[in-house]
Amino acid sequence: MMPKALFFLLFSLISPFCFAQTNLYLENFTGQNAFGAIGQSSGIPIISPSTGSWSLDVSQCNLSAASDWFQVLNERFEGRDLDGEAIWYSPWINSSAFKAVGFSLLASELGSLEGSDYLLTEFSLDNQVWQQAQIYGSLSDDFDNLEISHFGISADSLRIRIRMRNNASTEYIRFDSIHVFGFNQLTYSNGIWNKYPDEFTDSLSLQLAAGDSIYLNSPADLKNLILDSGSYLDLGPLARLSIHGQISNGAQINIQNGATILQTLQADLNQGNGLVSYQKEYTAVDHRRFSFWSSPMANDSIQEVFAQSLEADRYCFDPINQSYVQCDSGLLAPGLGFAFTPSVQNPITRQNFVDQRNFKGQLNNGTISINFNSVQAGDWLLLGNPYPSPLNFQSFIQANPDLLGTVYFWDSSTPLASGSAYANWNSAGANAVPFSSRNAPNSAVDVAQGFMVQVSHSFSGASLSLQFTNAMRLFSSVPNPPFFKKELENQQFWFSLRNEEIGISTLIRFSSDSAFNSSQALDAPIKPSASGLNLFSLKEKNELSIQSLPWKDAVVVPIGMNIHSSGKFSLSLDSSRSKSPTIVYLYDTKQETYYNLNDSLVSLQFPNTGKNTSRYELHFYDAASLEIRSFQTVNFNLDWRLQNDRLIVMRPQNHPFALEVELLDLKGQVLRSQSMALEEEISFPINDLVQGIYLLQLKSDNSNKATVKIYLP
């Protein structure tokens, strides 16, 4: 960053013409010592007239002594022992001739300030409400020497006020070099900017002349980007360039891995034959694993971008036959996805290496349409983000209602290739791949990322047209989380089935925006993994990797499993998000056994391979409001209560038989047992039992039985 003193010296001495900038106001208090207000023993401050370029309001402070002041000292403005708020005002400054206006000033302090001491910098546009400066507009307590600033102002007139307060003779607050400047365009000349591009330069265009070569590595907004022949723009990995007009490229733009260019205008007004290159990197486990790709450039070719991949490992997806076909050459059509392996390695055993792809050509921009013929309901399509900025899948799916609302990403980053599977996301949440080295998916489809979608089961046409637009583009790959009506109404539970090497996961989500019947926006059909191991929930016989339901206590969700190889697997509740304590059980209908998934994983032994969709259920209970629930009731009811760390069980009314009372855990193990002959009630101590759900069972000598599920706090 340029030193502050040099920054102001340049603004003062260098010709405004050179920088396409006009100085509208500069106040550095030169020759103005003692101008301002100083107190006297009489309590009435003496106000010395200024040059007319600023004014004061000291009506709310108390300058009661000659050592109290709000005035210019050493050619900078200073406040000492104000005992109230004092205000400095600039004049009204005419800014009507400029597309953007900014201002800055220097601030400092001396002494030990408290939280009640402050320096506030504000501005008013066209005599409207006062607004606080964006950068360090509010300072209190001790602070370092700082530059206060605000940019991006568009108005006919501007006024600045500075409010100050301190309350001791050892406390000094100072400001200096108040500078207001106007711009109509960003320029870069001889290595110096007139204004460095940032998020406030959205009303200005940037034009690079022949010979200009610049490097940007931070977020910035521009009206238009114009590159004259012989210029060069390099966007670093932290650059997020948002352009609200057009790109006129007569030179070269290099976009490094991680950088993005976002264009917000719906129409594609880009022009010029300059070259754009985009570098995309990712970590590959080995050189034989496939990933889904797309191109942010128009007319880029497979054989150039993926020249380092084996020709036999370059695939397109055939939507008519629902299969992959080899395509070792041809164009990377915008909006379509492709499957490729990384660059061939030497030695071929090399693992976990960074693979880079270079896309070259003209940036895709504006509306991009794709047409599919002979597609049917339930068909899969391999698409891709066509833009050099992330794509908001939520916006994409809303504009293309013939698709189900789930995005599927192929994740081949697991330690074993057989563990590769589809990570997916929809508005209900993200379902990641166990053992993956990649982040969980979200609604942002990254640059050059291919993805799978499924045609809606209600689709009845023969041809399908899909559209991508600039309105779907994002500034970064970390979007805002999906909107839910109330956080309390949204609960998410992630489960996985795995052995020691590979695994698969599923998500159950409860929310008020869900339904017990199928939803194409919130329920995600399963797409099988590479190994054939699959875990899914069931709704209306649909096998789902993400299921969304309305919450109700004691809800039961059937689950299914496809076992690819015999052996031992574990099923676990990996994580959950819930505002109230929720207890989740796996119920084995064959063994009539409950397993508490909150406490531990469940070990399952599968002697055979194949699919099972009728044995296991997930039971969800609100622990705070768990009520008595009868598994079966035969001829009598079971009444109980808790009292002084004991469980009291009452004799059923008018029941003449002797009874056996048992307290069991959910695995069926008897924890307490006692006979009830003629007693009206019996009791068990429970102070040594952990919080949770138990089974209370009564058996009579005529073989009748009643069992209820109870919650012990």
Cis peptide before 334 (omega within 30 of 0): no
Tens-place pLDDT, residues 272-322: 999 999 999 999 999 999 999 999 999 899 999 999 999 999 999 999 999
Pick from 380-384, 462-466, 641-645 the range whose average pLDDT is largest: 380-384
pLDDT at 701: 60
Query: What beta strand segments (E) does 412-541 contain?
Result: 421-426, 429-431, 444-445, 450-454, 463-468, 491-498, 503-510, 524-525, 534-539
Q: What are the strands of the beta sheet with 314-318, ordered from one edge?
A: 291-293, 338-340, 314-318, 323-326
Cβ pair 497, 545 in contact under 8 A: no
DSSP annotation string for 626-652: ---EEEE--SS--EEEEETTEEEEEPP
Q: Is the pLDDT of residue 626 over 80?
A: no
pLDDT at 191: 82
pLDDT band at residue 508 under the 50/70/90 scheme: very high
Please choose, from the candidates 255, 200, 240, 249, the residue with its C-alpha nearest in 3D space to the C-alpha of residue 223.
200
pLDDT at 124: 97
Q: Is the pLDDT of residue 469 over 50?
A: yes
pLDDT at 656: 57
Share of the chain above pLDDT 90, in %: 68
Query: What is the spatial distance between Cα 210 and Cα 193, in angstroms, rounded to a whole number?
Result: 16
Rounded to the nearest 5°, which phi and psi values hold at 429? 145, -170
**Mapped to the 3 state alphabet, what secondary structure does 88-103 carry?**
EECCCEECCCCCEEEE
pLDDT at 332: 96
Range 368-383 burial, b when 16+ CB lie within 10 A, else e: bebebeebeeebbbbb
pLDDT at 704: 61
pLDDT at 42: 67
Average pLDDT, the chain: 88
Query: What does the block give as tokens for 278?
Result: 């985009």
Tens-place pLDDT, residues 116-149: 999 999 999 999 999 999 999 999 999 989 999 9
| Termini Cα distance of the chain | 60
pLDDT band at residue 412 under the 50/70/90 scheme: very high
Q: Is 36 helix (H, G, I), strand (E, B) or coil?
A: strand
pLDDT band at residue 28 under the 50/70/90 scheme: very high
Q: Is the pLDDT of residue 651 over 60?
A: yes
Query: What is the spatial distance between Cα 403 and Cα 253, in angstroms, rounded to a whole number?
Result: 35
Q: Is the pLDDT of residue 206 over 50?
A: yes
Query: What does the block give as tokens for 164?
Result: 């100050």
Q: Which residue type, as a one-letter code, is found at position 403?
A: L
pLDDT at 489: 60
Give how far Cα 253 sits from Cα of 243, 278, 328, 358, 628, Å.
14, 9, 28, 13, 69
Average pLDDT for residues 312-336, to the nearest whole number? 95
Range 103-112 burial, b when 16+ CB lie within 10 A, else e: bbbbbbbeee
Average pLDDT for residues 311-336, to the nearest whole number? 95
> By mean pLDDT, which of 52-56, 216-220, 555-559 is the weakest?
52-56
Cβ pair 382, 292 in contact under 8 A: yes
Higher pLDDT, 707 or 210: 210
Higher pLDDT, 590 or 156: 156
Query: What is the spatial distance between Cα 629 and Cα 616, in angstroms, rounded to a whole number?
Result: 20
Residue carrying structure tokens 């405004």: 16
Q: Is the dihedral of CA 584, 588, 592, 593 positive or negative?
A: negative
Domains of the chain: 21-183 (2.60.120.260), 192-273 (no CATH), 285-414+438-473 (no CATH), 484-626 (no CATH), 629-712 (2.60.40.3080)
> By mean pLDDT, which of 325-329, 416-420, 486-490, 703-707 is the weakest?
486-490
Tens-place pLDDT, residues 4-18: 333 333 333 333 333
Cβ pair 410, 438 in contact under 8 A: no
Query: What is the spatial distance between Cα 695 and Cα 350, in angstroms, rounded to a whole number?
Result: 56
Range 1-28 burial, b when 16+ CB lie within 10 A, else e: eeeeeebbeebeeeeeeebbbbebbebb
Cβ pair 274, 227 in contact under 8 A: yes
pLDDT at 275: 94
Q: Is the pLDDT of residue 264 over 70?
A: yes
pLDDT band at residue 481 under the 50/70/90 scheme: very low
Q: 291-293 and 260-263: which strand pairing? A: unpaired
Tens-place pLDDT, residues 74-123: 999 999 999 999 999 999 999 999 999 999 999 999 999 999 999 999 99
Average pLDDT for residues 504-528, to the nearest whole number? 92
Q: Which residue type, as a one-letter code, is found at position 477?
A: S
Higher pLDDT, 42 or 560: 560
> By mean pLDDT, which of 366-380, 429-443, 678-692 is the weakest?
678-692
> By mean pLDDT, which of 212-221, 502-511, 663-672 is the weakest?
663-672
pLDDT at 577: 87
